[in-house]
Amino acid sequence: MDHAVIPAPAWFDAGGGPGFAFRPGTVVAYADTPIEPIVGRFCAQIARRTGLRLAPVHGDGASAQPSVTIELAAAREPAGREPAGLPAAAGLSPDGGDPADECYSLVIEDGRVVLRAAESVGIARGLTTLIQLIAAAPSPGTDEIRVPGVRILDAPRYAWRGLSLDVARTFFTVEEIRRVIDLLEFYKLNVLHLHLTDDQAWRLAFGQPSAGAESGAAFYRDEDLTRLAGYAADRFVTIVPEVDTPGHASALLGLRPDLKSGRNEVEYEFLPGHRRRAVWLDPELPATFELMEQVLAGVAATFPGPYLHIGADEPRGMPDEDYVSYVRRLRRLVRILGKHPLGWQESARAGLGPDDVVQYWLTGVDLPASAPPQVRAQVEAEVALSRRDAEAVAAASVPVIASPLGHCYLDVPYADPPAEADADTDTD
């Protein structure tokens, strides 16, 4: 049954004692008003998943047997056979400052369920675990779901646990993004990194020409993003918006021809005899930062989280001095807006300050044997640059978000496809 809880709890004791039977009208008692919305959402999810309607009760539900009791109280104190406590989550907090206390204890035994946590977020994590246990429990009838006796003490190992969603290359509706947020909540992830712009599309209303998007590409209205940010926050998920520049700007230049300087759409030779087209925002063009100030101010006002992702990856074809100038100026603008700048690992080439955050992605690429020599040479050159970026990040001792390409990208195959079964194999 411990495998039904994802991620696996820090401490899990199956116990073997009597568990708990959820039935229609089972009381869910809580005394603390701040957790009322969390309890209400838990009861609604149980009803949606199982059809059982539980009874949330504000106050002392101890007299109701059987019942679920939820308490805002320290979960690190030993209780029975539980360990004395768990270490605080390591690493960068998506809320800024010290990581939230997500620790909780969940005890199911002797016909009762008791959930304790010091903070509301811990209550939410514990109730998610309870939902997972209920979802995996056998149901002897339509009016009862029985979960086994367990003792759980749990807290996340890392403070930042995120998913990056590319809505620039593939548009997801607001409702679809809400479903993604629901999945993050279910698996106790707490960051949704929205990749809102790229060469393929500019999904922001900020920066669109006054007549609207001439390309006809879908984009999110300001109020859509505001509601998404609130929806995520209610589920203890922080949205980190990414506006990816100075490269990956083809869609933006298509919307805003005034950003064309005459030198920022060029062909460049990435290998002898092989040329490619590069598009980037020109820091020497006054219109560039006039627009970026408006865009980033709008994004910063929409998303209350402390981080704003500036992208800054793959500045192909852009002169090094222009790239450094652009990234440094953009970081200053982000700080003026009261946010912390976060960038892909290439942003280290513009220098790093103590409050910069780097997202590490390019570690290596396994190319097929059929890859042309010029492609292999290009990839090897870019990976070599990425190693130097990593060395600069390590030397600066700034926070790093690890999302290595070979392990964390869902569109990258992780293993060779299984061999086809031999047609002559005896399957009897």
C-alpha to C-alpha distance for 24 and 375, rounded to whole angstroms: 62
Other C-beta atoms within 10 Å of 210: how many? 4
For the chain, the residue count is 428
Three-point CA angle 17, 185, 105, nearest 5°: 30
Three-point CA angle 214, 216, 220, nearest 5°: 105
- Alpha helix stretches (DSSP H) within 113-263: 120-136, 174-186, 222-234, 250-255
State both tokens at 418: 């299984």
Distances (CA, A) of 425 to 235, 417, 419, 421: 51, 19, 13, 7
State both tokens at 6: 């994802």
Residues contacting 21, CB < 8 A, separation 6+ = 66, 111, 144, 145, 146
Determine which one of 144, 265, 293, 314 is catalytic.
314
C-alpha to C-alpha distance for 404 and 149, rounded to whole angstroms: 39
Strand partners for 11: 153
Specify whether the CB–CB gap between 105 and 115 falls below 8 A.
yes
For the four alpha carbons of 351, 357, 359 and 363, in that order, the dihedral sign comes to positive
**Cis amide linkage into residue 304, ω under 30° from 0:** no
Backbone φ and ψ of 56, nearest 5° = -70, 130
**Is 293 one of the catalytic residues?**
no
Instruction: Give the H/E segment covering residue 301.
Output: helix 286-302
C-alpha to C-alpha distance for 272 and 269, rounded to whole angstroms: 7
Both ends of the chain: CA-CA distance in Å?
33
347: helix, coil or strand? helix
C-alpha to C-alpha distance for 119 and 100, rounded to whole angstroms: 8
C-alpha to C-alpha distance for 388 and 345, rounded to whole angstroms: 10
For the four alpha carbons of 392, 160, 83 and 145, in that order, the dihedral sign comes to negative
Catalytic amino acids? 314
